[in-house]
Structure 1
Amino acid sequence: MARRSDKTVLITGLSGFTGAHLAHRLASDGWRIAGLGGRRLDCEVAHLEADLNDTARLTEWIREVEPTHVIHLAALAHVTGSDALSYYRVNVLGTESLLTALQDSGVALQKAIIASSANIYGNAPSSPIVESSEPRPMNHYALSKLAMEALVRKWFARFPILVTRPFNYTGPGQSESFVFAKIVAAFARRQDELRLGNLDVSRDLSDVRYVAEAYARLLECESEGQFVNVCSGRSVSLLQVIDAMAGIAGYRPQVQVDPAFVRADEVKELYGSPARLYELVGNIAVPDLSETLLSMYERNLQAPGK
């Protein structure tokens, strides 16, 4: 039986990697799901495909849907490959447009979660990274997210808002443009060679299911007006992932360092502190690395053409 039929959550970027996992997590708990952007999912009760900067259209739709909660995931997310203006148009102005539409619609919002990024910390000089760590953005994606955070601060007095800073995470369905998904897909295809950038780097890595659980709990916590790291607090290297995948797949490809993927200013190890997250929502179990990689590997094997 649906336990939260009186709760409607509007998720932007719903059909993306994170949004789809989160939507099914919340729907299983009885939330009514309204989605903005991309293809419609089976669990949605309402859907709109529109430009985030079309404030008038968003306002009209939000007034019809009457969301009680919002999770804003839609963003231009890749750190390279897009023109600079696009990052600010989508990540900054798009967020302002959404918040303006929520205000103009007159809905009684109980919580809004706005996704920023741990990329704002850039090459932090030490780990674990806490929310008070100095921002050191290294690209337009990170700069646009930091600018978005500054913009969102002025809305803290108008809406109960939490801003999340997710670190690296992966899981079934992630695009191969992300390095961990690329590695798993290469093993599933049994490629002879795997070309990567810096191999001796370690990053905070969690599972998309962990992230979905964090968002689900943050939706209902009483805190607002804060910035929250969403991270595992553990450091995982590319070599660890390759070793784990070799054990899962039963073979090991030749790994080549491709200069095109090497970043000159790469920091060897970065990971975050989930202490504030756990203070707000309680501890969340982080799936074992091997469990995450196996779920991704099996998903790849089941994909068409495998």
Structure 2
Amino acid sequence: MSSIHAKPLIRTLVTGASGFTGRYLVEKLLGRGHTVIETTASPDQPETPTRLRLDITSPEACRRVIETARPDYIVHLAAISFVGHSDPLDFYRVNVIGTLNLLEACDAVGHIPRKVLIASSANVYGNVSGEAIDESCPLTPVNHYAASKAAMETMVRTWFERLPILIVRPFNYTGRGQAPNFLVPKIVEHFARRAPSIELGNIDVARDFSDVRYVASAYDALLDSAAASETVNVCTGTPYTLRSILSAASELTGHELEVRINPAFVRKTDVKVLAGSPAKLRALVPAVESIPFIDTLRWMLAA
């Protein structure tokens, strides 16, 4: 076949590629023929043409990676995302300054990608009462993780004129491979080993849980969409309480689990109900279908 008709290689840089979401997104992009350049924060992993070391808090390191990769697309997932992380300043160093370093690196080396997709979080909405939250809701973060993401969004919006950026606000999502300090994997793990009991906090909090495979599909489709200078919720619009998840897992496994409420796990700042409106997402990428939560649970239990 003559090289004139060969499809041009699409190069996509993914920060946080080895994280929970990154692994699913990378698999999806590779399946669509992208050349994926992953970044890793680990200093002991050797670099390869498709794996570059990156300390996101270093402007020089960010410039080197953008200069080396010159990607068509950038998906920025690298972040400190565990709300209970010990050093509050790390949230701002990584989530705010790290993101700024990446955008400034594009500017410094004179590279404008086709799209920069930046992962924020629905945590920025804080304790909103009422129906499904849409993108116009005010941001009222209640912890350092959420505050760092809200600050990041504010900073990123000042770059909308200069780079084709899309900010995504995923609501809670889960799936195989998520760290066991997150709630659904913890519940699944207890049912899978048929533990007699589990310690949890407030089991009546409700969350709009998505499947990580749906989130990866949404990110992938949004890269291809015409949308830029926008903020988009990634969610299903259906909230589930932990109580209902425990009950569904019990039905799927035939195992009864005694739930012990540990007051230490009840956070004063816990958001009671967090459910998003996926209307904008559906309008932008109508082909992406969400996965029913019972199917996600079944898939995780079968791991």
CA contact (8 A) 1:88 1:144 kept: yes
CA contact (8 A) 1:4 1:31 kept: no
Residues 45/217 of structure 1: CA separation in 2 closer, same or farther (3 Å cut): farther
Which runs of structure 2 are paired with 1:236-251 in the superposition (5 Å)?
A: 236-251=240-255
Deviation of 1:45 after TM superposition, in Å, equals: 5.1
Which runs of structure 2 are paired with 1:69-148 in the superposition (5 Å)?
A: 69-148=73-152
Give the TM-score, by structure 2 length.
Answer: 0.93
Deviation of 1:283 after TM superposition, in Å, equals: 4.6
Residue type at the aligned position of 2:58: D
Residues in 1 aligned to 2:54 and 2:231: alpha-carbon distance in whole angstroms: 28
SS of the residue corresponding to residue 231 of structure 2 reads strand
1:88-126 Cα offsets, whole Å, 9 max, x none, are 000000001111112222223100011111000000121
Equivalent residue for 1:56, pick from 56, 60, 72? 60
- Match status 1:24 vs 2:27: yes
SS of the residue corresponding to residue 229 of structure 1 reads strand
Equivalent residue for 2:285, pick from 278, 281, 285? 281
SS of the residue corresponding to residue 91 of structure 1 reads helix
Deviation of 1:267 after TM superposition, in Å, equals: 4.1
- Match status 1:47 vs 2:51: yes
Task: Using the TM superposition, name which of 288-297 and 211-220 deviates more.
Answer: 288-297
Give the TM-score, by structure 1 length.
Answer: 0.92
Residues in 2 aligned to 1:37 and 1:151: alpha-carbon distance in whole angstroms: 24
Which runs of structure 2 are paired with 1:78-227 in the superposition (5 Å)?
A: 78-227=82-231
Question: Which residue in the other structure is 1:298 paired with?
Answer: 302
Residues 153/113 of structure 1: CA separation in 2 closer, same or farther (3 Å cut): same
Deviation of 1:4 after TM superposition, in Å, equals: 6.3
Task: Using the TM superposition, name which of 52-61 and 19-28 deviates more.
Answer: 52-61
Deviation of 1:79 after TM superposition, in Å, equals: 1.2
Deviation of 1:63 after TM superposition, in Å, equals: 1.6
Residues 4/79 of structure 1: CA separation in 2 closer, same or farther (3 Å cut): farther
Residues in 1 aligned to 2:26 and 2:109: alpha-carbon distance in whole angstroms: 23
Residues in 1 aligned to 2:156 and 2:221: alpha-carbon distance in whole angstroms: 21
Question: Which residue in the other structure is 2:15 paired with?
Answer: 12
Residues in 2 aligned to 1:4 and 1:54: alpha-carbon distance in whole angstroms: 35
Deviation of 1:295 after TM superposition, in Å, equals: 1.4
CA contact (8 A) 1:170 1:180 kept: yes
Deviation of 1:265 after TM superposition, in Å, equals: 4.4
CA contact (8 A) 1:112 1:162 kept: yes
Residues in 2 aligned to 1:64 and 1:204: alpha-carbon distance in whole angstroms: 39
CA contact (8 A) 1:5 1:31 kept: no
Residue type at the aligned position of 2:32: D
Task: Using the TM superposition, name which of 277-286 and 202-211 deviates more.
Answer: 277-286
Q: Which runs of 5+ in 1 are unaligned?
A: 300-306
Task: Using the TM superposition, name which of 48-57 and 251-260 deviates more.
Answer: 48-57
Q: Which runs of 5+ in 2 are unaligned?
A: 1-5
Residue type at the aligned position of 2:33: G
Alpha-carbon RMSD: 1.8
1:255-292 Cα offsets, whole Å, 9 max, x none, are 11110111234343220001111111115222122211
- Match status 1:234 vs 2:238: yes
Residues in 1 aligned to 2:83 and 2:214: alpha-carbon distance in whole angstroms: 23
Residues in 2 aligned to 1:267 and 1:100: alpha-carbon distance in whole angstroms: 34
Residues in 1 aligned to 2:241 and 2:146: alpha-carbon distance in whole angstroms: 22
Equivalent residue for 2:40, pick from 37, 45, 50? 37
